[in-house]
């Protein structure tokens, strides 16, 4: 059975032959740990992606996705609300413009 999720995670690691993905509806949390084993691992980041439906005075009914790392919102994407789904893209806000990549 196929499911339709508004939040997707495409995972690429060196031991998969292809990408893996999974979906979520309103909230998705990724707790990332690092170390040498299951018992010897420590948290490095908590990534949360959320979806909310709001009413804005200027934009009307909107669908807002937010992505945060360790409680800091890094990106926000706003769409028109299309009967409980993301419709037309309105705006993307990013706190990453001044940060350098790996």
Give the per-residue pLDDT at 2. 59
| Burial status of residue 57 (CB atoms within 10 A of its CB: 0-12, 13-18, 19 or more) | exposed
Q: What is the mean pLDDT of each run of 10 residues along the chain (102 residues)?
A: 73 80 90 86 92 93 96 96 94 83 70
Domains: count for the chain: 1
**Is residue 83 situated within a structural domain?**
yes
For the chain, give me the number of helices (H) and strands (E)? Answer: 0, 7
Give the per-residue pLDDT at 71. 95
**Is residue 5 situated within a structural domain?**
no
Provide the residue range defining the domain that includes 62.
30-94
**Is residue 17 situated within a structural domain?**
no
**Is residue 70 situated within a structural domain?**
yes
**Is residue 23 situated within a structural domain?**
no
**Is residue 24 situated within a structural domain?**
no
Identify the three-state secondary structure at position 2: coil
Give the per-residue pLDDT at 73. 95
**CA dist list (Å): 56 to 15, 61, 62, 92, 95:** 45, 6, 7, 16, 22
Q: What is the pTM of this model?
A: 0.83
**Phi-psi region for residue 22, left (φ > 0), alpha (ψ -120 to 50) or beta?**
beta
**Is residue 36 situated within a structural domain?**
yes
**Is residue 21 situated within a structural domain?**
no
């Amino acid at each position: 059975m196929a499911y339709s999720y508004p939040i997707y995670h495409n995972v690429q690691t060196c031991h998969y032959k292809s990408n893996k993905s999974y979906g979520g509806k309103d909230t998705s949390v990724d707790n990332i740990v690092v170390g040498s084993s299951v018992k010897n691992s420590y948290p490095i980041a908590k990534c949360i992606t959320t979806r909310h439906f709001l009413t804005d005075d200027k934009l009307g009914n909107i669908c807002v996705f937010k992505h945060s790392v360790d409680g800091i919102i890094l990106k926000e994407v706003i769409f028109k609300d299309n009967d409980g789904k993301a419709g037309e893209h309105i705006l993307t806000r990013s706190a990453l413009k001044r940060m350098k990549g790996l």
